[in-house]
């Protein structure tokens, strides 16, 4: 889990039909031993993308439809019944059986972002992943809509995390009613409400053509949630201290601007544009200070996406110029040959920020770098100026590629951190469902025999991106090593974005913000 200063996040101009060109690598078939890199390329990004997409099916709660994961079954069917709501859908965040609304909404936003940028015929659709991605988004947004029964009420967690983390059992085995946690006017949460608004607004663009009524429904909820988030300002982890240990929020300014930006993109209504370039931007933008991108901090994503607007439509806007300069500073930080290159990386070249979930940050910034490079190239902005040195869009793509390649096996351990890719990947993933045989009957405590087992997981958590290596590039493949070995849905969403970028060549259609 990552820290964030109170900052902004601004996402503005991803066009619902705008997407990518030529597929670079051909997919190979998958098998239990994993996928081999193709002969003509060191790593097969399309094959890796197809593998990564499977983790969302593994994480689903509810009544499973066309279930392709043999060791998963229905779970959480009673969630929300005590308040007459159907909260059975959604996804478990990691290796547990809790639905945390804050990172879950971010997962949906990131998947929607990827679909909007990389989804069409020559992108995800061309490798048969677009519909799967849309289905994963909808599984989350169906849940988020139901979790918002009133304008100023949002259920933000299903399950007692303290109790859940003291048990080791499959979600399918849990029969107790799970406690529900909500924010409201007396216990608000601007961060989670605004992130949920961003998720629903971005998803409304995903479904705008294929399902207009559903798109309109998502957008209406997004608007109401944004009003709630902005009017009643507070950290949700202050209102609900129970979440602080797991997904503590360190700011809400970024989510407010992130949500407003998505809403402007989805509606073209000036009220949202005025918000993101007005006094709130002055308060929350923190221009000129590069920051890392994560479920808790959207500022870097905002800077890159507003740079897109600047490059194509807004060079006369001084606020957009500030965002572009901030994004440029971040890009210079990432490139190892830049005078301002960060030292926060391993000897093998992986950006490394935190012990917990170490791969989140490098995958996230690599995705941003690939997009920023595309925007430079398509807008004929050839040069990236980093003090006295000049770089090209190809340098950013090469950086993104090296981060992805590290994840896929080009590291001192010669291990793919994406489960199912290549011959060597983690076999003791910290994941309850993967570690317990599907036919085992366990309660809360007797399931610990599977946690403590010295045998590899009986079920492969295909598509899981584990937490990753330590700064010294060691990785301990142990089921008890949750710091390094626990996967998350939001990591997978970020990885899908990165792999989609590398598996395709951007031909994005850029339009005016109005």
**At 155, phi and psi to the nearest 5?**
-80, 120
Rounded Cα distance between 110 and 127, Å, is 19
Rounded Cα distance between 387 and 369, Å, is 18
Asked if residue 2 lies in contact with residue 296, where contact means CB atoms within 8 angstroms, the answer is yes
Helical (H) or strand (E) element with 212 = helix 212-231
Helical (H) or strand (E) element with 225 = helix 212-231
DSSP string, 283-295: HH--TT-----BT
Asked if residue 451 lies in contact with residue 388, where contact means CB atoms within 8 angstroms, the answer is no
Rounded Cα distance between 124 and 60, Å, is 21
Torsion angle of the four alpha carbons 247, 253, 255, 256, in this order, in degrees rounded to the nearest 10: 140
Asked if residue 258 lies in contact with residue 298, where contact means CB atoms within 8 angstroms, the answer is yes
Asked if residue 296 lies in contact with residue 1, where contact means CB atoms within 8 angstroms, the answer is yes
Torsion angle of the four alpha carbons 85, 90, 93, 97, in this order, in degrees rounded to the nearest 10: 60
Name the burial class of residue 270, with classes exposed (0-12), middle (13-18) and buried (19+) by CB atoms within 10 angstroms of its CB.
Answer: exposed
**At 35, phi and psi to the nearest 5?**
-110, 130
Catalytic residues: 430
Rounded Cα distance between 73 and 93, Å, is 17
Asked if residue 113 lies in contact with residue 10, where contact means CB atoms within 8 angstroms, the answer is no
Q: Alpha carbon of 110 to those of 82, 276, 339: distances in Å?
A: 31, 20, 31
Of 183, 189, 179, residue with least CA distance to 153 = 183
Place of tokens 């101009």: 13
Asked if residue 262 lies in contact with residue 201, where contact means CB atoms within 8 angstroms, the answer is yes
Rounded Cα distance between 299 and 134, Å, is 25
Rounded Cα distance between 115 and 478, Å, is 34
Rounded Cα distance between 185 and 408, Å, is 45
């Amino acid at each position: 889990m990552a820290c964030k200063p109170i900052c902004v996040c601004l996402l503005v101009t991803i066009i619902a039909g705008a997407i990518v060109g030529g597929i670079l690598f051909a997919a190979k078939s998958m098998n239990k031993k994993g996928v081999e890199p193709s002969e003509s390329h060191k790593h097969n990004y399309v094959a890796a993308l197809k593998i990564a997409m499977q983790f969302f099916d593994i994480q689903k709660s509810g009544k499973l439809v066309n279930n392709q994961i043999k060791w998963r079954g229905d779970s959480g069917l009673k969630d929300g019944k005590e308040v007459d709501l159907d909260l059975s859908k959604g996804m478990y965040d990691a290796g547990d059986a809790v639905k945390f609304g804050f990172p879950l909404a971010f997962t949906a936003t990131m998947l929607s972002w990827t679909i909007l940028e990389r989804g069409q015929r020559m992108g995800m659709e061309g490798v048969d992943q677009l519909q799967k991605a849309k289905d994963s988004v909808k599984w989350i947004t169906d849940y988020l809509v139901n979790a918002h029964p009133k304008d100023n009420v949002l259920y933000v967690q299903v399950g007692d995390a303290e109790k859940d983390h003291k048990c080791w059992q499959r979600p399918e085995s849990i029969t107790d009613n799970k406690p529900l946690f909500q924010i409201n006017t007396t216990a608000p949460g601007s961060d989670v409400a605004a992130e949920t608004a961003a998720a629903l607004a971005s998803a409304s663009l995903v479904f705008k053509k294929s399902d207009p009524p559903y798109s309109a429904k998502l957008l209406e909820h997004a608007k109401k949630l944004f009003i709630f988030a902005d009017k009643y300002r507070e950290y949700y982890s202050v209102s609900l201290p129970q979440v602080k240990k797991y997904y503590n929020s360190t700011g809400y300014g970024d989510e407010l601007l992130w949500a407003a930006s998505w809403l402007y993109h989805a509606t073209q209504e000036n009220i949202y544009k005025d918000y993101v370039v007005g006094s709130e931007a002055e308060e929350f933008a923190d221009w000129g200070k590069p920051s890392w991108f994560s479920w808790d901090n959207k500022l870097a994503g905002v800077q890159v996406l507003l740079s897109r607007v600047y490059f194509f439509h807004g060079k006369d806007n001084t606020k957009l110029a500030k965002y572009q300069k901030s994004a440029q500073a971040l890009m210079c930080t990432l490139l190892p040959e830049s005078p301002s290159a960060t030292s926060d990386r391993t000897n093998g070249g992986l950006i490394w920020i935190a012990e917990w979930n170490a791969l989140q940050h490098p995958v996230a910034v690599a995705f941003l770098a690939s997009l920023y490079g595309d925007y430079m190239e398509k807008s004929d902005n050839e040069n990236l100026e980093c003090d006295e040195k000049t770089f090209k869009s190809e340098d950013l793509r090469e950086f993104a590629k090296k981060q992805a390649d590290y994840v896929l096996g080009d590291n001192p351990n010669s291990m793919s951190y994406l489960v199912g890719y290549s011959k060597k990947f983690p076999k003791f993933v910290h994941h309850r469902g993967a570690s317990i045989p599907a036919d085992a009957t366990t309660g809360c405590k007797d399931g610990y025999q599977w946690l403590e087992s010295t045998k590899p997981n009986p079920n492969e958590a295909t598509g899981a991106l584990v937490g990753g290596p330590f700064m010294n590039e060691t990785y301990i493949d142990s089921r008890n090593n949750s710091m390094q070995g626990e996967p998350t849905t939001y990591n997978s969403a970020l990885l899908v974005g990165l792999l989609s970028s590398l598996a395709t060549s951007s031909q994005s259609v850029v339009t005016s913000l109005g």
